[in-house]
Amino acid sequence: MTVKIQKIAQTDQGPIELFTITNHRHNSIQLLSYGATWKDWQIQESGQMLSLVTHYTNWQDYHETAFNPGKTVAPVAGRITRAHFQLAGHDYQVTPNENENLLHSGPTGFQQQNFVGEKEAEQSVKFTYTLPQTENVFPGDLKLTVHYHLTDEDRVEIEYQGTSNQTTLFNPTCHVYFNLDPTTSVNEQILTINADQYLELTEEKVPTGKFLPVAAATDFRQPKTIMQGLNALHEQTGKTEFDHVYYTPNDLVATLQTNQRAIDLYSDRDALVIYTGSPQNPQAHDWHDYTGLAMEMQSLPDAINHPEFGDIVLPAHKTISYKSSYQYRKL
């Protein structure tokens, strides 16, 4: 129905702008130009506004956090083993930023950039930024356009379009954290993942190349609470967080729900990363009381080093588009 634009800060990267898209049901999403960030999703239930995503009040917190809540992580989301890959006949060794590996394209990825935003239609906003070769850890100047659309049926649609002047890598995601009832821990919410397999990871959380069948802690094919999964994970491995990569080749990827509401996730790619975290209060980060669940739809991470994972190569002067969406349902 409307798109409202507010300048909220002036920085050396240009003005930081806040975009609010409101639909005919008076529900809305908020977006930041910094990081092309999905800041908030407000739903009206019984005359009260409810936030469905973990977010910060001040934009500066998005600049300083390592949690990346709601940010567009690109050119390549996830980890690349030993920060090394081969592409178009060339061998690339880039600077690692987590142990010996590259995480989320390093410190100059799109999640750290201030995009140019504009109203695209009555309920759509477009963000654009070109990451120059001098800042891109991958080859070429990469232009990324991110389209956000809020439908009158309360569906959030995101489309990523990438174009480069050199053959490069492209595997973007939205690093959004959901909490469908902010008065409680996200652990009590019910998760379903449409996946029979997940990736085996090393202790440094990089893929080994092996697919594992879901079982016990990792099996969300039937709905269960996140806490049920965490308890089983702790019993089996001693670990107290989910940071797992699921193979999700079907259109419907996952559902997160409470007794009152649900969010269905859809994607045209084949991976879902889930991560339990507390971005708003990391000092109180406790596995019994996580405040958010990151649900990152993308292609399988480190695909450039595992051909069986699929293709994340973006050929020079070609545009590649990916789409994902999030459907709210009142139960």
Residue 317: is it exposed, middle or buried by C-beta count within 10 angstroms (0-12/13-18/19+)? exposed
308 three-class SS:
helix
Tokens of 163: 């174009």
Tokens of 148: 């956000």
Given 153, 175, 241, 308, the catalytic residue:
175
Side-chain-facing half-sphere of 82: CA atoms under 13 Å: 8
Asked if 149 and 124 touch (Cβ cutoff 8 Å), the reply is yes
Question: Is 90 assigned a catalytic role?
Answer: no
Question: Is 84 assigned a catalytic role?
Answer: no
**Would you call the peptide bond into 213 cis, given omega within 30 degrees of 0 as the criterion?**
no
Asked if 170 and 76 touch (Cβ cutoff 8 Å), the reply is yes
Given 296, 306, 308, 317, the catalytic residue:
296
Other Cβ atoms within 10 Å of 243 Cβ, number: 13
Whole-number Cα distances in Å, 35 to 44, 62, 187: 27, 8, 27
- Catalytically active residues are 175, 296
